[in-house]
Amino acid sequence: MKIVILDGYAENPGDLSWAGIEALGDLTIHDRTPVEKVAETIGNAEIVLSNKAQVRADAMAKCPNLKYIGVLSTGYDCIDVKAAADRGVIVTNIPTYGTTAVAQFAIALLMEIAYRVGHHAKAVASGRWERSPDWSFWDYPLIELDGKTIGLIGFGRIGQATGKVANALGMEVLAFDDHQSDEGRAIARYASLDELLPQSDVVSLHCPLLPETRGIINKTTIAKMKDGAILINNSRGPLIVEEDLAAALNSGKLYAAGLDVVNQEPIRGDNPLLKAKNCLITPHISWAPRESRQRLMELATENIKAFLDGKPKNVVSS
């Protein structure tokens, strides 16, 4: 069985082992594969693994031996799953590996906005405290989160994990999700989007990228948000209309945004959020602690084993 990994570097830059997957077939690992080289790279392989490398219908059509695509992430919008299903190609994802890491990173973005730890540490290192006429200084308003309201748009595994941390910080948690549960009610109060937006001091996105969620944060929904609110997004970049968010930050309608994702990744130099006021952007690293990547590796191996046994799991193409 020939196995090809299209973009293995992000998952494993050298601190993990591919041995579990190597044991399952003839493995070829590519650090990166541009979209125009995907079909050529897949060649006659039966099994393909992709993190973010796009596998489109035209590439699948050129790879008649292709039977299985394993996505090395939870999101699978890089794969044309309809085309895969039409060709009888199984596509699987890994839905649970990074729940804790992503939830913690959402709170880390919020905490950095609230306290600007990194900024003030750099200020001290540059000698500003030594030169200060006062025993203490700060460059940004410092925000105590206890008693504030956080509204979570999307309340699945990651949203609920984020809500638990927010509860521990003393925050009131609101949640918007079409699928409600008793587990969710133990963490948050469910609310409609129109209720959540104006009541939340912080709005945090934890929903998948679907037609109905694409651009869910736009000038209309931003207008409904509380003046001076904070927006957090480490889910999917296209959930936000970036021009509308930049305008809201620059006008002061929103106080700040903490983003780990953008519409086009890597970010383009002309992205309006790069010059927006109070916009903290990190390079899509919520998922990347070694512990979560190790879980991803193990679960990817189990997904392939299940496929080879004729009992595929975590299938998203049916």
pLDDT by residue for the chain (318 residues), tens only, comes to: 999 999 999 999 999 999 999 999 999 999 999 999 999 999 999 999 999 999 999 999 999 999 999 999 998 989 999 999 999 999 999 998 999 999 999 999 999 999 999 999 999 999 999 999 999 999 999 999 999 999 999 999 999 999 999 999 999 999 999 999 999 999 999 999 999 999 999 999 999 999 999 999 999 999 999 999 999 999 999 999 999 999 999 999 999 999 999 999 999 999 999 999 999 999 999 999 999 999 999 999 999 999 999 999 999 997
Q: Is 284 a catalytic residue?
A: yes
Q: How far apart are CA 10 and CA 288, in angstroms?
A: 8
Q: How far apart are CA 162 and CA 126, in angstroms?
A: 34
What pLDDT does residue 318 have? 78
Q: CA-based Rg of the chain, rounded to a whole angstrom?
A: 21
Q: Is 130 a catalytic residue?
A: no
What pLDDT does residue 77 have? 87
Q: Per the omega criterion (within 30 degrees of 0), is the bond before 266 cis?
A: yes
Instruction: Enumerate domains of the chain plus CATH numbers.
Output: 2-97+290-308 (3.40.50.720), 99-281 (3.40.50.720)
| Token pair 């570097």 in the structure block, residue | 9
Which two tokens mark 53? 């490398």
E-state strands within the chain: 2-5, 26-29, 47-50, 68-71, 90-92, 149-153, 172-176, 189-190, 202-205, 229-233, 254-259, 279-281
Q: How far apart are CA 188 and CA 164, in angstroms?
A: 9
Query: Which among 265, 268, 290, 291 is annotated as catalytic?
Result: 265
What pLDDT does residue 123 have? 98
What pLDDT does residue 190 have? 98
Query: Which among 11, 46, 116, 236 is annotated as catalytic?
Result: 236
What pLDDT does residue 270 have? 98
pTM: 0.94
Query: Which among 11, 46, 116, 284 is annotated as catalytic?
Result: 284
Which 8-state DSSP code applies to residue 70?
E
